[in-house]
Amino acid sequence: MRIRVEYSVGSDLRFLSNLEMMNLMARALRRARIPFALSEGFNPHIRLSMGTVLPVGLWGKREYFDLELMQEISPDMFINNMNQVLPQAMRINKCIAITDDTPTLMKSINCACYSFILSSSPTQLQEWKDNLLKQEELLVKSRGKKKNVDKNLRQGILKIEMNNQGDFAIIDIWVTVGEPLNVRYDELRDLLVQTGINEQDILDIYRSGNYIMVNDRYYTPLEKVK
C-alpha cells in the first residue's frame, strides 16, 4: 500500500535541514508503530520519500511525503497515531491512499506559494503589484548554485494575491519550482526589497503550499494523483 500525506511544519521547527526533517519523520513512524515497508539490502531504510524540501528558516502550511506500507492501514488511523507522537509544531493534516503508478511528488510538483507577512499595510500595495507584473524583466542576484549571477524571475512568477488584514498584510506569490526555472524564497524576498518594500516590514515568510500546475490550473498533490 502507498499513501500520500499532507503535513504542516510550525515555526518552532523552521531551522531543521532536510536531513533532520527526514530523520524526524522516520523516527516518528517508528514511534507510532506504522507498518512501513523497508528497502532491500544490507542497510534497510524506510521507504519514505519527502516530496518537498522546506528551506531552512521557513515554516510550512502544506508539505507532502509519500510512504510505502507493508500492510493496509486506514488513513484516519495513520493521522491519529502519527499526531500522537509528533512534536506539537508538526501536524499531519491529510492522508490518502494512492496507486503504485502515481507519479512521485518530486516529479510532479512544479509550483509553490510563498507568503510574506508585512507589518504595516503599505497603501500602494496594489500599485506595487500591477507595476511588478508589467515588467518584462525582474532581475535579482541568484542565491542558488550559481551565486550572484543575474537571474530573471519574471517568467517564474505566476500569480500574486494580496490579503489586507488591517494591521498587517499577507502577499502570496505563486512561483515555478524545479526545472526550467526554480524561484527561491530568498530571491523573492530580495525582489520585494528591490521593488520598494521595506525589509523591516517583512515580519515573517512561510510556504503556504506546493502545487501541480496543469494548463494554468493549480492542483494540490492530493487532488492530482493520476
Q: Which residues bind another protein (CB under 8 A)?
A: 11-17, 19-20, 23-24, 26-31, 38, 42-46, 56-57, 85, 87, 89, 203-204
CB of 72 to another protein, least distance (A): 18
CB of 90 to another protein, least distance (A): 10
CB of 17 to another protein, least distance (A): 8
Q: Which is nearer to another protein, 11 or 164 (CB)?
A: 11
CB of 137 to another protein, least distance (A): 29
CB 190 within 8 A of CB 140: yes
At position 6, the amino acid (one-letter code) is E
Q: Which is nearer to another protein, 61 or 129 (CB)?
A: 61
Distance from C-alpha of 132 to C-alpha of 154, rounded to nearest angstrom: 9
- Taking the alpha carbons at both ends of the chain, their separation in whole angstroms is 16
Beta strands in the chain (DSSP E): 2-9, 48-50, 59-68, 90-98, 111-118, 139-141, 150-152, 157-164, 169-176, 202-214, 217-219
CB of 46 to another protein, least distance (A): 7
Q: Which is nearer to another protein, 85 or 160 (CB)?
A: 85
Q: Which is nearer to another protein, 34 or 191 (CB)?
A: 34
Distance from C-alpha of 67 to C-alpha of 90, rounded to nearest angstrom: 17
Q: For cell 514511534, what's the residue?
A: 31
Q: Which is nearer to another protein, 26 or 96 (CB)?
A: 26
